[in-house]
């Protein structure tokens, strides 16, 4: 196992999105010596309301900069100003369905953005770069087997193709320039603060409003679900203990068919299955993802801890008790918040 690395000046990108928000909270609570700059462009998926309390609670340890990771000049300014020793890159366009509609912004953020950050890391001799990748780079499984790190990448959606391209850029910078970088590949996350275009929050919101729950195809596609807190803990373990140049899978050991998830949500909310509506399948829809995370558990001692049934119930309850959070997103009110709060500053 690698020696624990020590960091103090941390750049976290995409901190106003789902995983970024949870990771920021985890770091500020569990790593008191870390100072964190959150660089987020506040796209449709970035919600400043998710993190606004952190600026008040941790005024000397946390700050937000609204910027594009693909803006090389701005990144140069920030790296010069802060002298980061760790970069955690979560900023991305992340929704498969949007990538099918149009993929150019995915290439810009997920590939060009990563290249800009990698160049800045080399120039400013950043101690470690962590790329938050995804199980989707491996493509799709049949009924059997699990993804291991040594499988060739075989992405099927424009989203996963851009994430795979980024992983290859990271690999090239490790080999060519000797960059200390590590990659994490995790399965589908669930938990608080997920944008309500993704399966679980979308279904909770629709059930709560008495709308149809749109299940793609026959609902038999399988995902391996992990609670976002388990993923966040794993990212920090990899950042501190991961071997330079290595890639680590993470999964939740909770494979479920989509229809099972939808039924669990309806049951927990006391709603009937007549709300389920089968709709046309997603083009190129990956059938099954399943993670083999033996490597990270045997070498770094990480494994998922949150039981799926408990985790999904507490997650559903979180959305039900945060109706105003998702109502502001759905009405578009959340995107006007930044201009109101920060527009004239």
* Residues at the contact surface with ligand NAD, assessed by CB under 6 A: 13-14, 16-20, 39-43, 45-46, 68-70, 90-94, 109, 113, 132, 134, 163, 186, 188-189, 195
Cα–Cα distance measured from residue 212 to residue 276, given in angstroms and rounded to the nearest whole number: 6
Which among ligand NAD, ligand TYD, none contacts residue 199 (Cβ within 5 to 8 A by kind)?
ligand TYD
The two beta strands, 255-257 and 222-227, are: antiparallel
In the structure encoding, which two tokens stand for residue 112, read together?
């060009």
Cα–Cα distance measured from residue 66 to residue 44, given in angstroms and rounded to the nearest whole number: 13
> Would you count residue 110 as binding ligand TYD (CB under 6 A)?
no
The least distance separating ligand TYD from the CB of residue 312, rounded to whole angstroms, comes to 13
Cβ count near 98 (within 10 Å)? 17
Sites for ligand TYD among residues 216-255 (CB under 6 A): 216, 221, 223
Which among ligand TYD, ligand NAD, none contacts residue 9 (Cβ within 5 to 8 A by kind)?
none
> Would you count residue 137 as binding ligand TYD (CB under 6 A)?
no
Nearer to ligand NAD, 273 or 333 (CB): 333
DSSP state of 274: G
Q: Half-sphere exposure of 129 toward its Cβ, with a 13 Å CA cutoff?
A: 30
In the structure encoding, which two tokens stand for residue 331, read together?
């009405």
Binding mask 68-97 for ligand TYD (x = CB under 6 A): ----------------------------x-
The least distance separating ligand TYD from the CB of residue 197, rounded to whole angstroms, comes to 6
- Work out which of 99, 188, 249, 315 binds ligand TYD, going by CB under 6 A: 188
The least distance separating ligand TYD from the CB of residue 268, rounded to whole angstroms, comes to 17
340: buried, middle or exposed (CB in 10 Å: 19+, 13-18, 0-12)? exposed
- Residue 8 makes CB contacts below 8 A (sequence gap 6+) with 33, 34, 35, 85
Which among ligand TYD, ligand NAD, none contacts residue 132 (Cβ within 5 to 8 A by kind)?
ligand NAD
Cα–Cα distance measured from residue 179 to residue 172, given in angstroms and rounded to the nearest whole number: 9
Catalytic residues: 135-136, 159
Q: Half-sphere exposure of 112 toward its Cβ, with a 13 Å CA cutoff?
A: 12
Q: How many residues in the shown chain lie near ligand TYD by CB under 6 A?
A: 12
Of all helices (H) and strands (E), which one includes residue 239? Answer: helix 228-241
Which among ligand NAD, ligand TYD, none contacts residue 215 (Cβ within 5 to 8 A by kind)?
ligand TYD
> Would you count residue 132 as binding ligand TYD (CB under 6 A)?
no
- Residue 59 makes CB contacts below 8 A (sequence gap 6+) with none
> Would you count residue 258 as binding ligand TYD (CB under 6 A)?
yes
Binding site for ligand TYD (CB under 6 A): 96, 188, 198-199, 202, 214-216, 221, 223, 258, 282
């Amino acid at each position: 196992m690698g020696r624990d690395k020590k960091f103090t000046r941390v750049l976290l990108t995409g901190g106003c999105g789902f995983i970024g928000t949870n990771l920021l909270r985890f770091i500020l609570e569990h790593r008191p010596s870390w100072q964190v700059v959150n660089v987020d462009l506040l796209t449709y998926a970035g919600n400043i309301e998710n993190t606004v309390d952190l600026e008040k609670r941790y005024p000397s340890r946390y700050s937000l900069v609204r910027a594009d990771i693909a803006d090389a000049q701005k990144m140069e300014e920030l790296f010069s100003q802060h002298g980061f020793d760790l970069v955690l890159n979560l900023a991305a366009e992340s929704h498969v369905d949007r990538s099918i509609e149009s993929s150019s912004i995915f290439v810009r953020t997920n590939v060009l953005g990563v290249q800009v950050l990698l160049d800045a890391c080399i120039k400013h001799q950043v101690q470690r770069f962590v790329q938050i990748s995804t199980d989707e780079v491996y493509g799709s499984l049949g009924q059997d087997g699990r993804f291991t790190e040594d499988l060739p990448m075989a992405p099927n959606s424009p989203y996963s193709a851009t994430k795979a391209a980024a992983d290859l850029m990271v690999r090239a910078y490790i080999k060519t320039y000797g960059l200390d970088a590590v990659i994490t590949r995790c399965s589908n996350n669930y938990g608080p603060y997920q944008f309500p275009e993704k399966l679980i929050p979308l279904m909770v919101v629709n059930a709560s409003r008495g709308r149809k729950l749109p299940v793609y195809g026959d609902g038999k596609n399988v995902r391996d679900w992990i609670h976002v807190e388990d993923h966040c803990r794993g990212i920090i373990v990899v950042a501190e203990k991961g071997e330079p140049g290595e890639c680590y899978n993470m999964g939740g050991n909770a494979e479920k068919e989509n229809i099972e998830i939808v039924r669990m949500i309806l049951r927990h909310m006391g709603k009937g299955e007549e709300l389920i509506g089968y709709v046309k399948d997603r083009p190129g829809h990956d059938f099954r993802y399943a993670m083999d995370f033996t490597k990270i558990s045997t070498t770094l001692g990480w494994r998922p801890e949150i039981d799926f049934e408990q985790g999904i119930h507490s997650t559903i309850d979180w959305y039900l008790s945060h109706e105003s959070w998702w109502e502001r997103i759905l009405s578009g009110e959340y995107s006007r918040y930044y201009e109101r709060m920060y527009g004239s500053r």
